[in-house]
Amino acid sequence: MTWLNIVIEGALIGGFYALFACGLSLMFGVMKVINLAHGDFAVVAAYIAVFLVPHLHVPEVLSFLVVVPIFGVVGYVIQRTLIQRSIDKDPFTTLLVTFGLSVVIENLLLLSYSANGQVVNIGSVAYNSWHPGSIFYLSYVSLVVLGSSVAVLGALQLFLSKTGLGRQIRAVADDQEAAQLSGTNYRHIFGVAAAIAFATVALAGIAYGMMTQFSPTSGGINLLFAFEAVVIGGIGSLWGTLVGGILLGIAQQLGAHFNPQYQVLGGNILFLVVLALRPQGLFGKKSALA
């Protein structure tokens, strides 16, 4: 039964990793940008949920209703100003700029809120769980987060495949120039992709805060996991990211099973193995590689 527990725990956290990672994957697919500050924006969303949203008399558990749309707009603006500017220079500059942003954000959070762990207050639900057959221990929060992740990913996939705007996003991702020649304003599309990325990462950040403690440096470690999930599942595939996230979660649980210190290591090892044996990931296209 321990094995089943490991798999289930892994799957639960895996859904979250996928939600966290889909923005990263989208931004890379569409504008070939790796946003190294991706994780930190998630943490900012969590901090806003805990410290600023209550001023609006909105309960923390519903904070995402406020924060997610705001982050979408913020994402659009940041993309069309800061990030577009660095894209226009070269991919190098974008990496450096987003890394710089990451460090600045983390340290600003540290200065503002200290290194203490925070939690998004959702009341007693946080401690409740489901005990099917008295064997498994599935926390409500994790289940809801997993369900939401799958729902969001599904909605995103539908949006990309069925709507005109979604088609334009995919077109720009395939061939930016040809999309321009077909009348698509690629900078606007970049903005939309960033808006989606920021919105999903805000949701992921708040979800994280509901599941566990977070601190200014939480963004970094989650970026690592998001990235590992994307690579394991395959660069360029949304559902691949979900599978990658789940496999990562399971690998981490396996590591923790041997020694609590090995939790992260378990995931790192799976990542390195995939990199060695099948670098394009499980569902990825070979074109994304070197």
Burial profile 13-26: b = 16 or more Cβ within 10 angstroms, e = fewer: bbbbbbbbbbbbbb
In this complex, which beta carbon is closest to other proteins, that of residue 34 or of residue 144? 34
Angle, helices 164-174 vs 140-162, to 10°: value is 80
Yes or no: say if 55 and 116 are a contact pair by the CB < 8 Å rule: no
Residue 56: its H or E element: none
Closest CA to 156 of 182, 195, 191, 186: 195
Closest CA to 30 of 238, 183, 223, 205: 238
265 binds other proteins (CB under 8 A): yes
28 binds other proteins (CB under 8 A): yes
77 binds other proteins (CB under 8 A): no
In this complex, which beta carbon is closest to other proteins, that of residue 64 or of residue 198? 198
Q: How far apart are CA 179 and CA 171, in angstroms?
A: 6
* Number of residues this chain uses to bind other proteins (CB under 8 A): 64
Q: How far apart are CA 122 and CA 104, in angstroms?
A: 29
Q: How far apart are CA 289 and CA 272, in angstroms?
A: 15
Yes or no: say if 60 and 121 are a contact pair by the CB < 8 Å rule: yes
Residues in 93-112 that interact with other proteins by CB under 8 A: 93-97, 99-101, 103-104, 107-108, 110-111
Min dist. Cβ of residue 146 to other proteins (A): 25
Min dist. Cβ of residue 249 to other proteins (A): 16
Q: How far apart are CA 247 and CA 253, in angstroms?
A: 10
269 binds other proteins (CB under 8 A): yes
To which residue do tokens 């995939």 refer? Answer: 274
Among 8, 138, 275, 282, binds other proteins (CB under 8 A): 275
Residues in 211-240 that interact with other proteins by CB under 8 A: 220, 223-224, 227-228, 231, 235
158 binds other proteins (CB under 8 A): no
Min dist. Cβ of residue 230 to other proteins (A): 9
Strand ranges, E, within the chain: 129-130, 138-139
Q: Tokens in use for 142?
A: 């994790």
Distance of CA 233 to the CA centre of its chain: 14
In this complex, which beta carbon is closest to other proteins, that of residue 157 or of residue 220? 220
89 binds other proteins (CB under 8 A): yes
Among 19, 33, 68, 247, binds other proteins (CB under 8 A): 33
Min dist. Cβ of residue 225 to other proteins (A): 10
Min dist. Cβ of residue 140 to other proteins (A): 31
Min dist. Cβ of residue 81 to other proteins (A): 10
Closest CA to 276 of 265, 287, 289: 289
Residues within the interface to other proteins (CB under 8 A)? 28, 32-34, 36, 82, 85-86, 89, 91-97, 99-101, 103-104, 107-108, 110-111, 164, 167-168, 170-171, 173-175, 177-186, 220, 223-224, 227-228, 231, 235, 259, 261-262, 264-265, 268-269, 271-272, 275-276, 279, 289-290
